[in-house]
């Protein structure tokens, strides 16, 4: 009966729609609306001004910040893909028993039982001038004075990002790899492909959806980050997230909203471009 079917469908979709509307659409619309408001030292008020966008898009600091942020994204992405792919490959193709695969996979997740702030901050005493890394290197005679670049530098930021987000790459890649039909690899071998050819012609193409899902995680997480950049760079570099955080702390909510809208659009564009390479829906 088509009529009741229609009602049923609407009823089924209602809970999800309500949740999405209340917790996703309404906040984003609010942010978009507020981004056109005016503000002064202590309050913000309804208005229709383009000044927030005008300043944000023309300021040199915005462009510098986006450049730094994109640099962080690119480097973090390269390292997490390489590490994530290698770990997933090892788990999926070298470890033969399912029990061991599951056990080792769980081992990968153990560090994630603690908060990511703690995992990040624990690098600070490790990398510092008087830290474990420097002391150890001096002790073995590799260097004679402490390496300054280890902490409060871009190096430290990237290191923390890779450490924090590598698992987001491992999980989806491992997941797609597990679903690759083993007979395809046997077929490749039978047809005379070397291990490397099998990797590039069979495994990588078939793992693309996993790589892409992982990449989306990493890109969005790094683009929106502010706390890792702040702590690991010793507040010396800025990311887009820190720019927004600063504006919020100075009560410039409309300016922060405008920056957030621009960031949102940028991230959506980046994901849009990434989706062009792989049709995730088809592959899932």
Closest alpha carbon to 259 in 229, 274, 239, 273 = 239
The residue from 82, 117, 250, 268 that contacts another protein (CB under 8 A) is 250
Closest alpha carbon to 55 in 74, 76, 38 = 38
Name the CA dihedral angle for 139, 141, 145, 151, rounded to a multiple of 10 degrees. -70
State both tokens at 156.
């430290």
Query: Contact between 61 and another protein (CB under 8 A)?
Result: yes
CA 151 – CA 140 distance, rounded (Å): 20
Give the shortest CB-216-to-another protein separation in angstroms: 26
Give the shortest CB-55-to-another protein separation in angstroms: 8
What residues from 21 to 40 belong to the interface with another protein (CB under 8 A)?
Answer: 40
Task: Render 62-85 in DSSP notation, one character per residue.
Answer: HHHHHHHHHHHHHHHHHHHHHHHH
CB count within 10 Å of CB 214 equals 29
Residue pair 96/182 in contact (Cβ under 8 Å)? The answer is no
Query: Contact between 124 and another protein (CB under 8 A)?
Result: yes
Size of the site for another protein (CB under 8 A): 34
Give the shortest CB-146-to-another protein separation in angstroms: 10
Query: Contact between 238 and another protein (CB under 8 A)?
Result: yes
The residue from 2, 15, 43, 139 that contacts another protein (CB under 8 A) is 43
The residue from 11, 58, 130, 192 that contacts another protein (CB under 8 A) is 130
- Which stretch in 7-15, 162-170, 216-224, 249-257 sits in contact with another protein by CB under 8 A? 249-257
Q: Which helix (H) or strand (E) holds 254?
A: helix 253-277
Query: Which positions lie near another protein, rule CB under 8 A?
Result: 40-43, 55, 59-61, 64-65, 68, 124-125, 128-130, 148, 151-152, 230, 233-238, 242-243, 246, 248-252
């Amino acid at each position: 009966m088509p009529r009741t079917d229609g009602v049923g469908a609407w009823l089924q979709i209602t809970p999800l729609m309500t949740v999405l509307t209340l917790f996703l659409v309404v906040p984003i619309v609010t942010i978009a609306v507020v981004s056109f408001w005016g503000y002064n030292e202590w309050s913000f008020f309804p208005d229709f001004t383009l000044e927030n966008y005008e300043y944000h898009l023309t300021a040199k600091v915005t462009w510098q910040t986006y450049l730094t942020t994109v640099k962080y994204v690119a480097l973090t992405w390269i390292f997490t893909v390489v590490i994530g792919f290698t770990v997933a490959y090892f788990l999926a193709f070298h470890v033969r028993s399912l029990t061991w695969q599951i056990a080792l996979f769980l081992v990968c997740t153990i560090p994630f039982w603690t908060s990511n702030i703690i995992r990040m901050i624990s690098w600070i005493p490790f990398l510092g001038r008087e830290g474990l890394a420097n002391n150890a290197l001096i002790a073995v005679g590799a260097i004679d004075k402490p390496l300054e670049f280890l902490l409060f530098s871009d190096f430290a930021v990237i290191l923390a990002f890779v450490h924090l987000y590598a698992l987001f790459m491992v999980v989806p890649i491992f997941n797609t790899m597990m679903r690759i039909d083993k007979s395809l690899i046997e077929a490749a071998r039978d047809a005379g492909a070397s291990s490397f050819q099998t990797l590039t012609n069979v495994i990588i193409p078939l793992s693309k959806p996993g790589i892409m899902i992982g990449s989306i995680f990493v890109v969005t997480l790094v683009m929106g980050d502010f706390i890792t950049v702040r702590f690991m760079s010793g507040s010396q570099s800025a990311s887009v997230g820190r720019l927004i955080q600063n504006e919020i702390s100075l009560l410039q909510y409309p300016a922060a909203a405008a920056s957030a809208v621009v960031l949102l659009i940028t991230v959506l564009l980046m994901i849009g471009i990434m989706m062009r390479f792989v049709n995730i829906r088809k592959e899932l």
